[in-house]
Structure 1
Amino acid sequence: MVNLSRTALRGFAGVAAAAFLAGSALPNASAAGTVGTADPVIPALQQPTVAAITLPAEAPPPGTGLTTKSSATNVVQYNRIYKSPPITPSKCREVNVSLRTAAGVQAYASKLWTCLYAAWAVPLKAGGFAYKVKPKLVVHTSSSVATYCGTVANPTGLYCSARGGTIYIPASQIIAQWKQNPTMARAWLSQMVGHEYGHHIQNMTGIMAASYQRRYAFSTNAAKLEESRRLELQASCFSAAYLGADKRYYPMSGGLMTAFNYLVTHMGDQPGHARDHGAPKNHAFWSTMGFNAKHTYTVAGNCNTYRASSAYVA
């Protein structure tokens, strides 16, 4: 999740605050079920809070067999996904549907979810990762949601890595934004689903598990927060990379592109809140890196936040 300025939206990105909270609640670095992140949040809503974290017994995802911080660092910094082929344009067009109802949000999110699955299959397969694992999608209108990673109150967009992964989308927040600004609601939902799917890519490639392991190994809270920011900024970069790959077909242009640019330049950690998602300027930087990768096509290699200096993930 990523936070937006208090005057706009607050809290974008897939594995954001909830992911950090859930991750810090895990008993050890090899635990599989972890809440991902949360996407943009309307100002009046609070940040997600996690309670009663109960992790299921299951086969660990890729990367959880790591035993040292150095090996975890190799996974996050030199992952095969960074050298994978370009993200294939899905040639999916934006669904022409009103987002004033939960059914509309469901239809919009479902189409994008399916398109993301198709587009990411090529780089995942080329990297030798599980490319046929499609995360489940849950669009809800609840004030709290029970996941395999625990119960989350006031959720924004959310990803839970347990059992192949599940993406949770809060229809009520999108509906509320639609009433204020329909174009902004479309941009927000597009970024939100893409961000949470970005966490799924991290899960499938072992980056998420290795990043959690590194977090546990760090001795200071400042280092742990920086690790959280690297994870979240990368998920937003992955989200923008897909939209950039499909920009001619979606299409990302006109008012929708203007709204998207506004969102990614206002997302980020805000005064008085945990610094676990990155400053707005860095969120804008990584989203732009993803969207404009190679200018004509997008590659996951542009989203390697783990080899960036601390200034770029502050």
Structure 2
Amino acid sequence: MWALISAGTALAVLLGVAGQVWGQPPADPSIPGPAPTTTRPVSTPTAVETPPPSSPSPSPSPTPPPPAPTREGWQLPERDWEALPPPAPQNDLWTVLQAEELIGEPAPILSTCPAVQKVTSETEYQALVLQQWHCVHRAWVPLFQLKGWSTVEPPVEFYPGTGAPSECGYLEAPAFYCSAGMGTVHFGAGHLEMAMDWDLSINEMVNHEYSHHVQSLAGITTAKMQLVQSDEIERRAELQATCWSATMTRNSEIVDFDENNWDSWQQRLETMTIDGIHGSRESILFWGTRGLYAQTLGDCNTWAVGAERVS
């Protein structure tokens, strides 16, 4: 997500056709907060200066297999995906960031989500956002239970205008996720406008913001905030959320992902604002498309690749 945070907090992230935003910790008190997603603190006393992963030779990790046909028989365009490097952490923080325990986990299947559609009113918009958020949360709960993570669903708040106060400070963005306390996700008027123009907007944005919740539960957010902050570190987090959002979209039983949706998704990736934090056009297209083909959460491991893949 893109977001402008008041003094004392740095930038939060957002992403969108016309400036969309993208961008919670478990109940376990051992995981510190707060941290607005993709926000860089002014200072990080415990920052560890660690070089990013190099570009190792391709691992034997399986390339995502060809997608199964949709209900209408349409398949994603055939494409050979390179295998991502295996985790090669340089220290404990990078062990957490590379989330080896998630690599082989299958991407969750979303069922009973609301039908994708453009909205015509604020009331309809809020109802569909809530339904999508509840649906995504239900899909992830079995994995959270397996890992022993919190299954508490973060609350959803709506705000008018361009920004809103939060436990992470005042943020200006169409939507943002704050990991303070039990975590909260916020959706504003800017995203309402987007949802009136694109039928997959609610699906994409909710999935993306929820991906930051998953990062928080996995300890990725906390570990990220302990590194010396840089745009590259933020890009790794944002591009992973972009990839997981695509995976959830493809894995939704409600989204009949056909050629029209493929074209629409690609156009979205082609028109996202380039801000230095969400990735270059090449990186956005790579991860935003790779996610559609992903079969496991590890297929979106932006923390294991070299810097050139998260430019």
TM-score scaled by length of structure 2: 0.71
Percent identity between matched residues is: 23
Aligned partners of 1:164, 1:77: CA distance in 2, in Å?
Answer: 23
What is the match of residue 264 of structure 1?
269
Are residue 241 (structure 1) and residue 241 (structure 2) matched? no
What is the match of residue 162 of structure 1?
180
Query: What amino acid maps onto 2:193 in structure 1?
Result: A
1:247-272: CA deviations, max 9, x gaps?
x4333335444322211233252xxx
**Higher RCO, 1 or 2 (CA under 8 Å, sep at least 6)?**
2
Which of 293, 299, 302 does residue 299 from structure 2 map onto? 302
Which of 103, 128, 142 does residue 161 from structure 2 map onto? 142
What is the match of residue 73 of structure 1?
94
1:67-120: CA deviations, max 9, x gaps?
x98211111124312232x13313224337662222111111111101111111
1:217-271: CA deviations, max 9, x gaps?
xxxxxxx11111001101111111111221x4333335444322211233252xx
Shift of 1:167: 0.9
Aligned partners of 1:78, 1:164: CA distance in 2, in Å?
Answer: 21
Q: Spell out the pairing of 1:1-314 with structure 2 (5 A cutoff).
A: 1=1, 8-14=17-23, 19-20=37-38, 22-25=39-42, 28=45, 70-84=91-105, 86-95=106-115, 99-126=119-146, 128-153=147-172, 155-170=173-188, 172-177=189-194, 181=197, 184=198, 186-216=199-229, 224-246=230-252, 248-253=253-258, 255-269=260-274, 273=275, 275-293=276-294, 298-314=295-311
1:174/1:19 CA distance change after superposition, 3 Å: closer
Indicate if the aligned counterparts of 1:124 and 1:130 stay in contact, CA closer than 8 A.
yes
Gaps (5+ residues) in structure 2? 3-13, 25-35, 48-88
Indicate if the aligned counterparts of 1:140 and 1:169 stay in contact, CA closer than 8 A.
yes
Q: CA RMSD in A?
A: 2.7
User: Across the two proteins, how many residue pairs are aligned to each other?
Assistant: 248
* Higher-helix-fraction structure: 1
1:202/1:254 CA distance change after superposition, 3 Å: same
Query: What amino acid maps onto 1:240 in structure 2?
Result: A
What is the match of residue 62 of structure 1?
none
Gaps (5+ residues) in structure 1? 31-67, 217-223
1:19-59: CA deviations, max 9, x gaps?
44x332365459xxxxxxxxxxxxxxxxxxxxxxxxxxxxx
Query: What amino acid maps onto 2:185 in structure 1?
Result: I
3-state SS, counterpart of residue 165 of structure 2: strand
